[in-house]
Structure 1
Amino acid sequence: MDFSFPLDPNPLYIPRNYKWESGADNVSHENKFGFIGAGRLLGTSYFVADGVNEKGLSIAELYLPGEAQYQPAPEDNKNNLAPHELILWLLGNFGSIEEIEMNLSDVNLVSVKAPMLNIVTPLHWIITDETGRCVIIEPTEKELKIKENPVGVMTNTPCFEWHVENLRNYLNVRPKQYEPATFGDYTALPFSQGTGTMGLPGGYTPPERFVRAAFFKEYIDQAENEAAGVTNAYHILATVRIPKGIVVTQEGAEDYSQYVGTMCNQSRSYYFNSYDNSQIAKVTITDDLLQVDKPISFLADKIETFKALN
């Protein structure tokens, strides 16, 4: 989660039967399922930017500036939602991508500002479920539709299809070392290991980060269990995390990676660490947690901790 405004989220559990009111048309909603993600109280309602629910459905939102298109007003016979409310509705009511697919056409995303941020957030969403299927939703047309995601990666603008096509520019990138090359009587030897990765883009634009994430995800040693999967996820995301001071907006603000969230659909677990603390925190949706009837914010350490060995 990269942002210049300090979001200050924590792992947040939203319970079953949570009631909330849409900012698009003031209609009340009541969720069926409990879920855990990174979020906080904004105004009078709780919101998350990513999360996993009790049915093993996971979602994350990312920025799509210049491409996202919302509707100017609510419509009759539609589920009118503000963009920042879509995750709250999806995680609270659906257990699979197939279920979302059957109900998505009923949604009307209305151009409503997010509380506290005071802007209309230009978003798109990546979704997975327990089957392993991965899809995205990009609001570039009036009717929302599911797009299959064969790469399993998403980042910010431009739209998903552009990023996938751009991978064709990196066919030469590979994990394996390149062989020495001969120039006349001179044989050029590699300086060291890693020549196969020459050509990987190194900047922090969305296209460069998409390529790096796709490459690392494709070739990293496959995890044998959940703990190794989380470790893999953090190694992959380490290649795209933005430290403070490296990306500065035109307004002079620092855009940086405020936290990393990782979800396991099978165990219904959410893993989290903040910018200032590299220790990974974990919250799992347990039977006891499902009995809770109010939102719970789990406070993660925001100060770096060290394990003293002497």
Structure 2
Amino acid sequence: MKKSFKKTAFALGLVASASLGAISSAQACLVYLGASNNEHPLIGRTVEFGFDEQTQTSFATDFINFPRESHFTTYGADKPLSWTNKYGFSGMAHEGLVSDGINEKGLYVAMLWFADGKYAPRDESKPSIASGSLGNWILSHYASVDEAVKGLSQTSVYQSADNHLGIELPMHLQLVDKRGKAVVIEYIDGKMTVTDNSEFGVMTNSPKIGDHMVAYRELLDANPHLDVSKPSVKGMLAGLPGGYTAVERSVKTAVLKDLTPKPKTKVEAINQVIHTLNNTDYVKGASSFPSRGLSGGAQETSFITIIDMENNDYYYRTVDSQVLHKVDIDKVDYSQGNPVTSFDIYGGIQYIDVTYRVQ
């Protein structure tokens, strides 16, 4: 991480309450910009969610493809907004709502839980989108981070429990485009805030992104041997957080991201992202949320995703299959008139039998 960023983060005026022990933080999802073998972004993402403890059924998720001019309708309004998409896009969807996806122009969106968020009331004078529909809306309309930020500034985003989970979906988002620009968008006290996250790169759940950045700065101040910008004797990562709260996960990932050497190949880069994500993996049922509607109860890392924005490859791995699966986005036909297609991501290959190699 560059010194200029660290100094900027330290000067944000957030230091007073931002220690690892002081921040109230939720658990769950994570997204970050991994070390790439070139200038093109490589994104890693985890999704933590509840599962049915009786049937062991995971959070229903489909990999979905929306061709151009597909029809969408948001929820939670007497006269809900409907639209068709300018750009084709693909990603992980829950009852048609994409929470992690990329469009054909190379704009990526990750939506994560943000309990500290507060949305303004619905403004009918603007295009009005329920928070859970943000992924579909952004991927439908925008080709870059700058376009998306401008468009969202002219959009009313509101809360409603009229969705598949039956609860309000307080979200903050990380947007990344092919140029490597990354921003976090949060709705705080009824206002949209935009934070450049191109260098820090990591986002988890609540609290707000600025608090995560300051917690990271404070960790490095207390553990200079983890700071790659300072000449020091490297040790065995002493002082690196080992817990699973959102702040601990983001700070741990940020440090590992810094310490990861630049990979020589794309395969090496992808493998490094997987190893980093493994450091925050929820063992099935070990963690539990007291209440969050259908998303509460015993938790698991339902799936991870890795997006290679150079080759437009979308990888994923699920809780029931540790084998990496790939969708080549360049081979998806987004032509207008094609049907929406999807498949259940679970139930993949359990293992690869290589007994033949010793026979």
TM-score tier after normalising by the smaller chain length: 0.7 to 0.9
What is the aligned counterpart of 1:17 among 21, 46, 69?
69
Aligned-CA RMSD value: 2.2
Q: Which moved more, 1:277-286 or 1:299-308?
A: 299-308
Deviations 1:123-153 (A, max 9, x none): 1001110100111001114342321013000
Asked whether the 8 Å contact 2:320–2:350 carries over to 1, the reply is no
Asked whether the 8 Å contact 2:81–2:129 carries over to 1, the reply is no
Asked whether the 8 Å contact 1:38–1:261 carries over to 2, the reply is no
What is the aligned counterpart of 2:253 among 202, 213, 218?
213
Partner of 2:7: none
Change (3 A) 1:162 1:288: closer
Q: How does 1:73-84 map to 2 (within 5 A)?
A: 74-84=122-132
Partner of 2:194: 146
Change (3 A) 1:154 1:223: same
3-state SS, counterpart of residue 255 of structure 1: strand
Deviations 1:180-205 (A, max 9, x none): xxxxxxxxxxxxxx844011111100
The alignment status of 1:278 with 2:322, answered yes or no, reads yes
Q: Which moved more, 1:16-25 or 1:158-167?
A: 16-25
The alignment status of 1:293 with 2:338, answered yes or no, reads yes
Partner of 1:306: 351
Partner of 2:48: 2
Q: Which moved more, 1:293-302 or 1:91-100?
A: 293-302
Distance 1:100 1:84 in 2: 16
What is the aligned counterpart of 1:56 among 85, 90, 106?
106
Change (3 A) 1:270 1:75: same
What is the aligned counterpart of 2:288 among 241, 248, 254?
248
Asked whether the 8 Å contact 2:66–2:334 carries over to 1, the reply is no
Q: Which moved more, 1:261-270 or 1:300-309?
A: 300-309
Partner of 1:204: 244
Partner of 2:92: 38
Deviations 1:147-178 (A, max 9, x none): 101300000111000010011232214289x8
**What stretches of structure 1 move > 4 A for 4+ residues in a row?**
none
Q: Which moved more, 1:127-136 or 1:74-83?
A: 74-83
In the alignment, structure 1 segments of 5+ residues that lack a partner are: 180-193
Matched to 1:50, the amino acid is D
Asked whether the 8 Å contact 1:53–1:268 carries over to 2, the reply is no
In the alignment, structure 2 segments of 5+ residues that lack a partner are: 1-46, 52-57
Kindly tell me the number of residue pairs found equivalent between the two proteins. Answer: 290
Partner of 1:186: none
TM-score of the two chains, using structure 1 as the length reference:
0.86
Distance 2:318 2:162 in 1: 22
Matched to 1:278, the amino acid is Q
The alignment status of 1:155 with 2:209, answered yes or no, reads no
Distance 1:175 1:28 in 2: 48
Percent identity (aligned): 27
Shift of 1:287: 5.2
Asked whether the 8 Å contact 2:65–2:342 carries over to 1, the reply is yes
Asked whether the 8 Å contact 1:84–1:121 carries over to 2, the reply is yes
Distance 2:188 2:241 in 1: 27
Partner of 1:26: 80
3-state SS, counterpart of residue 298 of structure 1: strand
Partner of 1:169: 218
TM-score of the two chains, using structure 2 as the length reference:
0.75
What is the aligned counterpart of 2:118 among 35, 52, 69?
69
Q: Which moved more, 1:163-172 or 1:84-93?
A: 163-172
Shift of 1:80: 0.5
The alignment status of 1:105 with 2:153, answered yes or no, reads yes
Larger radius of gyration: 1
3-state SS, counterpart of residue 98 of structure 1: helix
Asked whether the 8 Å contact 1:175–1:196 carries over to 2, the reply is no
3-state SS, counterpart of residue 229 of structure 1: helix
Matched to 2:257, the amino acid is K
Distance 1:163 1:68 in 2: 15
What is the aligned counterpart of 2:262 among 219, 222, 236?
222
Change (3 A) 1:163 1:121: same
Shift of 1:114: 5.1
Distance 1:264 1:270 in 2: 6
Distance 1:77 1:52 in 2: 29
Deviations 1:85-124 (A, max 9, x none): 0110101111101111222211111111252210001110
Asked whether the 8 Å contact 1:19–1:28 carries over to 2, the reply is yes
| Greater relative contact order, per chain length (Cα 8 Å cut-off, separation 6+) | 2
